[in-house]
Amino acid sequence: MKDILLKIARASILEEFEGKKLINKDELIKEYPFLSEERASFVTLKIDGNLRGCIGSILPRMSLIDDVIYNAKQAAFHDPRFEPLTPSEYEQIKIEVSILTIPERLEYEDEKDLKRKIVPKKDGVILALADKQATFLPSVWEELPLFEIFFGHLCMKAGMQGDCLKYHPVIYTYQTESIEE
């Protein structure tokens, strides 16, 4: 049933190449009512196992179908780390759609306490300090399995030094349900 999210993500990218609507939202919501729920999602694109685009929402702000459509197009054509997807790359991409729970603030005393409370491979993490913020989905633990490396990269993604935990940033955690091709 959730495979419909992959089809929606793929069709929304194809719409941009073909210049016409391929998704009938009303029909899909009628068949899959959960698509009308307000939920946050991330859409990740990979080619040969390498990241090719990843854009998402941390908090629910629209229906799941609209969020997936928007994030798929953003990941394909507007991820600032990559050039827009080409038609030949479209044929090679593998799509993953992640549906997020509502992030919850994680209270912790120090880095050691944080390390005890974080659950690798289960927790997605939002790190915020001053006006800087970044997140890693739970799947990033597969690439960065050590706490210190995971958080070092997350600090740098937020535009801070890799040791930013010493400044006691605000930490939120969330979980995802992921579907991939």
pLDDT digits (tens, 9 = 90+) for 63-120: 999 999 999 999 999 999 999 999 999 999 999 999 999 999 999 999 999 999 999 9
Output the pLDDT for position 2: 80
What tokens does 106 get?
A: 């994680």
Q: How confident is the model at residue 157 (pLDDT cuts 50, 70, 90)?
A: very high
Does the pLDDT of residue 151 top 80, yes or no?
yes
Q: How far apart are CA 32 and CA 8, in angstroms?
A: 12
Residue range 127-149: average pLDDT?
Answer: 95
Output the pLDDT for position 1: 64
Q: How far apart are CA 81 and CA 84, in angstroms?
A: 10
Mean per-residue pLDDT over the chain, rounded: 96
Output the pLDDT for position 42: 95
Residue range 12-22: average pLDDT?
Answer: 96
Residue in this structure with the two tokens 């990033």, named with its chain if needed: 140
Does the pLDDT of residue 130 top 80, yes or no?
yes
Q: 87, 17 in Cβ contact below 8 A? A: yes
Q: 101, 40 in Cβ contact below 8 A? A: no
pLDDT digits (tens, 9 = 90+) for 37-63: 999 999 999 999 999 999 999 999 999
